[in-house]
Structures are given as C-alpha cells and as structure tokens.
C-alpha cells in the first residue's frame, strides 16, 4: 500500500509544482513588464510579487527534487509514506500562508527577508508573523521528510558506505554505493544543515518580534544565517535533481548503470563539505565580515561546484559520445538541463570571485546566473523526471506529441530570457529595481525583451504541463 501511496503522492507533488510554477512564471513576467514600462505596478506590489515569486520558485523546485528522490529511493530502501504525506500537507498549508501574507497582507521584504526589513512594517501588521510562521510550517514539514529519508538510507548503509568512502582506495569494494544513494545522502545532509540554520534564524527573528524590542538581533549574524539557509538550499535542490539524473539518464538512454568510482566519491564528498561554506560569498560587501571568511567563501565556491560539475559532465559525455543512445524527451531534458546548470554555475563562480564581485554585485548578472541553473537547469531535471514518471506509471500511454516544438520553445524562450539578464548584468544594470531611471538607457528594452522570451518559455511549460498534468491527474484519481 505504501509503495502505491508514494506513487500517488509523487503525482500530487508534480501537479502542485506545475500549477505553482505556471503562476510564479506569470508573476515573473509581470515584474519584467513593469521594469520595461509596459505595465505599471506600485513599488510595494512589485516587491510583494518579487517576494512570492522567489520563495515559491525555491520551494517548489526543492520539493520537486525531494519527491523525485523519494520515489526513486524506493528502489533501494523502504521510505516512509507518512513522512512524505506530512510534508505534502505542511507544504500546502505553508504555501497558502505565504501567498496570503504577500498577496493579501502585502509583505514585501524579498524572499531573503533580510534583517531588519521584516520588522520595518510597510504592510499589514499581521503579514510579518504570518510570513515567518509560513516558513516555520514549511521547515517543520521538510525537516521531518529529510530526516525520514536519511533514516531510511542509514538503516541499510553505514555512514562510511552511504558516503562511499570505501571507494576512495578500493576499485571493487565489497559493498558498492550506488551514485544515487551517495548524491542523495550528500544532498539530504546539506538540506538538513540548512534547515537547522533556518530554525535558528526563525527562533532569533521570533524572539525579537515577540519581545517587542527587549531582545534585538545582530545584523551580521542574521545575514550569515539567512544565506546559510538560502544559498545552501538553492544548491542542494540542484543536487537532488542530479541524483535523479545519475539514476535515470543511463536507464532511459539504454546504457549500463553508472557506478561510483573513486573520483565520483571524492567529488561529491568535497561538495558535501564545501557547499556548507560557500554562502560566505553573499557577504563580500559586508565590511564587518572578517577577510578570512571572505576568502573561505571564494575557495568553497570553487571547491563545492567544480568537482561535482566536472564528474557529472564527464559521465554524461562518456555516456553519449559516439554511443548509440535511445533519445527521448526525458533524457534530452536531462542533457539540456546539465548544460544550463553548467552555464549558470560558471556565471555563479565568476560572480563568487571577489575581484569580479566588485563589479557584478547586485547587478542583473545575479538573477542571470541563478535563473540559468534553475530555469534551464534544475527545472529541466525535474521536468525530465515528471515526464518519465508520468509516462512510465500512467495507463494513458501513447506517442508523445509536439516534442520538437516543446523543446524548441523551451530553448528559444529560455535562452532569450536569460540573455536579456546577462547583457543587462554586463551593463551594470542593478537588480531589485521596480522601475529603472532614464540613466539606464537599455534597461527597459532588455526587461521587455526578457518578458517576451519568458512568455515563449511559459508556452513551452504549458505544453509540457498539459500532457504531464493529465497523466498525473489520472494517477491521483485512480482507485487503488
């Protein structure tokens, strides 16, 4: 019953993610149109829009990765249906609270809700506590889910096995750790860490809010904790998607399963450690942060991303180069997604280099790179999984229609949308402006172009949406 339950829950996760994704894209397009001058939003409304867009996108693609990992993990260990369902219920409640606090309560401190913004009330007074409680609800649901998946893996594998340490020196160890298990565990431990950071952060924020000024926070501590949580979760959700790719890409392509080698094991162990330190690069402009931590931030940014990207790209190239591949929509999405992830990753590493950050900090280069590895990376990882899942487990099988059109729109829309960000970033156009002053001569044009291409991207997503949605809805409505 539980395996069926996980399948049904996975279908519900997919439906929820797709609906929220489409709504969040529309919010994004409205923001770009406002920056382009085609529509007019009050600044408060723009920032409320930006807040809900950012936090929803991070949330949905995190749970999409978790749902996919949970579903595939059933191949190796037995996972908890109840933890999965609990997370689902808490996510629904949390998202409703978030949307109410921002769209009705007008809370607009941005998805990073940087201290002390949440306490500078420029919206309904109840919106601040509701926003913070929404995060708490989401955090509790996800924490339980993550702990349950970790427990499931640790029942079967010892700590050294689950992190593939036996592969460091031994080519053929007695117990082999599948890459999926290794990367899932690396990601889950990272997620656990950043969720604990979020708990500490929320406790401190609640303490200040409910003490009415008797207790005040240290701004540097809160900013460090905010990015410990925010940066780390944004990275770990990518790794969840990669765990799925390591499992499904060879399988869908008709190639032998990928194995954990010593360099794969080392690369992912480096990622496990260094991704927890990379967030310091968000504080380069905070002069009170000690210089040592700034250098740690730069080095960790390289050491967390480059080894894992290197082995993943190497594995994919070996898998596809001069070999007969059974291409389908899913593995094409995986393949393009890895390219998007790598391009965005290079953009991120450029920005994480201190000397470059002096120029690029808080310009549109920042949304350019994080939209690259999300909109054209992580989204495609999960979309590939959604498509595979819906076809594999649905009774409504049949020829996939309009595949080329979907991919063409996705590529055209995605690349155009990102190019508008990159060009603007290179021209030092600042981010987080609701509208641009005339001095930024190309800003409005680029924003409008961004909105047009994002609309093409949205059409592609709607085409995917229609086929995946129908199949998943069928699964949910099926009687067990």
Q: Which residues bind another protein (CB under 8 A)?
A: 147, 150-151, 154-155, 158-159, 189, 192-194, 196-197, 200, 204, 213-218, 220-221, 224-225, 228, 263, 276, 287-288, 290-291, 294-295, 298-299, 302-303, 306-307, 310, 353-355, 358
Give 299 or 473: the residue with its C-beta nearer to another protein: 299
**Separation of alpha carbons 84 and 97, rounded Å:** 20
Minimum distance of another protein from residue 216's CB (angstroms)? 5
Task: List, in sequence order, every residue forming a beta bridge with 386; answer none if it has no partner.
Answer: none
**Separation of alpha carbons 117 and 120, rounded Å:** 5
Give 346 or 402: the residue with its C-beta nearer to another protein: 346
Minimum distance of another protein from residue 100's CB (angstroms)? 29
Minimum distance of another protein from residue 408's CB (angstroms)? 36
Minimum distance of another protein from residue 79's CB (angstroms)? 14
Give 201 or 329: the residue with its C-beta nearer to another protein: 201
The answer for residues whose C-beta is within 8 angstroms of residue 95's C-beta and 6 or more apart is 20, 56, 59, 134, 138
Give 300 or 443: the residue with its C-beta nearer to another protein: 300
Minimum distance of another protein from residue 186's CB (angstroms)? 11
Minimum distance of another protein from residue 189's CB (angstroms)? 6
Give 100 or 299: the residue with its C-beta nearer to another protein: 299
**Separation of alpha carbons 161 and 329, rounded Å:** 34
343 φ, ψ (degrees, to nearest 5): -60, -45
Residue whose tokens read 């007969």: 324
Contact 168, 265 (CB under 8 A): yes
Minimum distance of another protein from residue 217's CB (angstroms)? 7
Minimum distance of another protein from residue 312's CB (angstroms)? 15
Minimum distance of another protein from residue 98's CB (angstroms)? 23
- 44: nearest Cα among 109, 95, 128: 109
The answer for residues whose C-beta is within 8 angstroms of residue 289's C-beta and 6 or more apart is 220, 224, 280, 283
**Separation of alpha carbons 203 and 215, rounded Å:** 12
**Separation of alpha carbons 296 and 243, rounded Å:** 27
Minimum distance of another protein from residue 162's CB (angstroms)? 8
Give 148 or 378: the residue with its C-beta nearer to another protein: 148
Give 133 or 262: the residue with its C-beta nearer to another protein: 262
Contact 420, 447 (CB under 8 A): yes
Please tell me whether residue 430 adopts helix, strand or coil conformation: strand
Neighbours of 176 (CB within 10 A): 14
Give 262 or 327: the residue with its C-beta nearer to another protein: 262
Quote the tokens at residue 416. Answer: 């155009």
Give 200 or 325: the residue with its C-beta nearer to another protein: 200
Element (H, E) at 388: helix 379-392
Give 99 or 302: the residue with its C-beta nearer to another protein: 302
Minimum distance of another protein from residue 7's CB (angstroms)? 25
338 φ, ψ (degrees, to nearest 5): -65, -40
Give 7 or 361: the residue with its C-beta nearer to another protein: 361
Distances (CA, A) of 52 to 26, 379, 432: 12, 18, 14
**Separation of alpha carbons 68 and 52, rounded Å:** 24
Neighbours of 237 (CB within 10 A): 25
Contact 52, 95 (CB under 8 A): no
Neighbours of 206 (CB within 10 A): 14
Distances (CA, A) of 376 to 37, 334, 337: 26, 10, 6
Give 112 or 434: the residue with its C-beta nearer to another protein: 112
Minimum distance of another protein from residue 137's CB (angstroms)? 19
């Amino acid at each position: 019953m539980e395996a069926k339950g996980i399948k049904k829950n996975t279908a519900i996760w997919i439906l929820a993610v797709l609906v929220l994704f489409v709504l969040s894209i529309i919010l994004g397009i409205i923001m770009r149109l406002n920056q382009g001058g085609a529509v007019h939003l009050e600044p408060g409304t723009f920032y409320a829009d930006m807040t809900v867009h950012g936090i929803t996108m991070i949330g949905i693609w995190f749970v999409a990765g978790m749902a996919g990992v949970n579903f595939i993990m059933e191949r190796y260990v037995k996972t908890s249906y109840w933890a999965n369902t609990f997370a689902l219920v808490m996510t629904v409640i949390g998202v409703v609270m978030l949307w109410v606090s921002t769209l009705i309560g007008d809370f607009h401190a941005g998805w990073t809700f940087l201290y002390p913004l949440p306490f500078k009330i420029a919206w309904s007074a109840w919106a601040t506590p509701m926003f913070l409680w929404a995060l708490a609800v989401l955090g509790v649901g996800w924490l339980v889910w993550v702990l349950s998946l970790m427990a499931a893996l640790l029942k079967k594998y010892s700590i050294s096995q689950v992190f593939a340490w036996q592969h460091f020196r031994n080519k053929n160890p007695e117990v082999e750790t599948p890459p999926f298990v290794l990367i899932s565990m690396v990601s889950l431990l990272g997620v656990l860490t950043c969720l604990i950071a979020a708990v500490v952060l929320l406790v401190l924020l609640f303490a200040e809010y409910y003490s009415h000024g008797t207790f005040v926070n240290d701004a540097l501590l809160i900013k460090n904790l905010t990015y410990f949580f925010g940066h780390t979760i944004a990275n770990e959700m990518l790794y969840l998607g990669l765990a799925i790719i390591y499992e499904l890409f060879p399988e869908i392509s008709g190639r032998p399963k990928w194995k954990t080698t010593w360099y794969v094991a080392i690369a992912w162990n480096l990622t496990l450690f260094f991704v927890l330190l990379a967030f310091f690069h968000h504080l380069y402009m905070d002069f009170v942060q000690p210089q040592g931590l700034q250098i740690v931030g730069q080095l960790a940014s390289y050491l967390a991303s480059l080894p894992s990207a290197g082995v993943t790209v190497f594995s994919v190239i070996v898998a596809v180069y001069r070999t007969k591949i059974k291409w389908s929509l899913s593995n094409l999405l995986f393949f393009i997604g890895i390219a998007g992830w790598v391009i965005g990753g290079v953009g991120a590493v450029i920005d994480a280099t201190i000397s470059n950050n002096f120029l690029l900090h808080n310009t549109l280069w920042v949304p350019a790179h994080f939209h690259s590895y999300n909109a054209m990376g992580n989204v495609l990882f999960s979309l590939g999984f959604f498509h595979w899942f819906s076809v594999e487990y649905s009774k409504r099988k049949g020829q996939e229609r309009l595949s080329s059109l979907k991919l063409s729109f996705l590529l055209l829309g995605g690349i155009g949308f990102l190019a508008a960000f990159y060009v603007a970033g290179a021209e030092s156009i600042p981010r987080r402006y609701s509208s641009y002053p005339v001095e930024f001569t190309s800003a409005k044009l680029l924003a409008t172009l961004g909105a047009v291409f994002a609309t093409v991207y949205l059409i592609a997503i709607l085409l995917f949406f229609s086929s995946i949605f129908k199949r998943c809805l069928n699964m949910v409505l099926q009687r067990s």
